[in-house]
């Protein structure tokens, strides 16, 4: 069965960096686009990045462009998320999600359980 | 980014029909997807491309999209349907609605 498992979360000081990982299994990882989505405490979902199946295309919202970077290693079935210059507002649960392209749109059919990032001094 | 206003909360009596809306300028021209999120859990896709149900999602869940409003309808609401519901579209970037908390009374 399809599984996505995030790791790398934890407590980090403001201004520091953190790299998250997401390992996929149960499906041909290299065939799918992948995304990172964040949820701040008691808040809604915020999409942070998408990377194409072969890593050739990255897309970000303007709010994180230049500070966060998504990448992938298909030989390891792993998605990465490099986060720099972290602030208190970056605290939250970070999910990776597989996407499906259908009829001119993307949606997320599988999600990992999430990893918690806490930015604290 | 594309704005997707949702009501903060919706209440429904047990066994009745709940309607959750997702607004947006001419949202009817886009494909809308819906996710259910229970406390402490990851979101789960319940409707994709306006009105399609993934395998395993009960037929009680349905969706529509027309004009400036997309709608998620939950018929014969059960206690287990209590959750936050988010709409999502792709408009060169992914956008989520703010989420609606469904309470089953």
- What is the secondary structure of B19-52 as a DSSP string? EEEEE-TTGGGS--EEEEE-TTS--EEEEBTTTB
What is the C-alpha separation between B11 and B20, in angstroms, rounded? 10
Per-residue pLDDT tens digits for B31-66: 999 999 999 999 999 999 999 999 999 999 999 999
Per-residue pLDDT tens digits for A36-73: 999 999 999 999 999 999 998 999 999 888 899 999 99
Distances (CA, A) of A96 to A5, B3, B37: 8, 23, 15
Compare all CA atoms of chain B with the CA of A108 and give the residue at the minimum distance.
B45
CB contact under 8 A, A107 and B97: no
What is the C-alpha separation between A26 and A24, in angstroms, rounded? 7
Residue B76 falls in which region: left (phi positive, over 0), alpha (psi -120 to 50) or beta: left
- Residue B1 pLDDT class (50, 70, 90 cuts): low
What's chain B's length in residues? 105
Give the residues across from A70 on adjacent strands. Answer: A81
Structure confidence at residue B92 (pLDDT): 86
Edge-to-edge strand list for the sheet holding A68-73: A3-7, A18-25, A78-83, A68-73
A27 touches chain B (CB under 8 A): no
What is the C-alpha separation between A115 and A94, in angstroms, rounded? 5
Per-residue pLDDT tens digits for B63-96: 999 999 999 999 999 999 999 999 999 988 999 9
CA A46 to chain centre: 11
B43 contacts on A by Cβ (under 8 Å): 37, 45, 95, 108, 111
């Amino acid at each position: 069965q399809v599984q996505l498992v995030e790791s790398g979360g934890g407590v980090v000081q403001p201004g520091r960096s953190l790299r998250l990982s997401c390992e996929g299994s149960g499906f041909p990882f290299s065939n799918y686009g992948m995304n990172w989505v964040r949820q701040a405490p008691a808040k809604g979902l915020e999409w942070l990045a998408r990377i194409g199946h072969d890593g050739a295309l990255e897309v970000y919202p303007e709010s994180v462009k230049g500070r966060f970077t998504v990448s992938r290693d298909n030989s390891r079935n792993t998605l990465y998320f490099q986060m720099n210059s972290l602030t208190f507002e970056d605290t939250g649960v970070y999910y990776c999600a597989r996407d499906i392209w259908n009829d001119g749109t993307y949606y997320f059919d599988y999600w990992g359980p999430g990893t918690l990032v806490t930015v604290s001094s | 980014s594309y704005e997707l206003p949702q009501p903060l909360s919706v209440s429904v009596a047990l066994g009745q029909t709940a309607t959750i809306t997702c607004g947006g300028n001419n949202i009817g021209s886009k494909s809308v997807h819906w996710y259910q999120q229970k406390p402490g859990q990851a979101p789960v896709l319940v409707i994709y491309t306006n009105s399609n149900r993934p395998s395993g999602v009960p037929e009680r869940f349905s969706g529509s999209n027309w004009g400036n409003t997309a709608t998620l309808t939950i018929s014969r609401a059960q206690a287990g349907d209590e959750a936050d519901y988010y709409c999502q579209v792709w408009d060169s970037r992914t956008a989520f609605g703010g989420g609606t908390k469904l309470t089953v009374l």
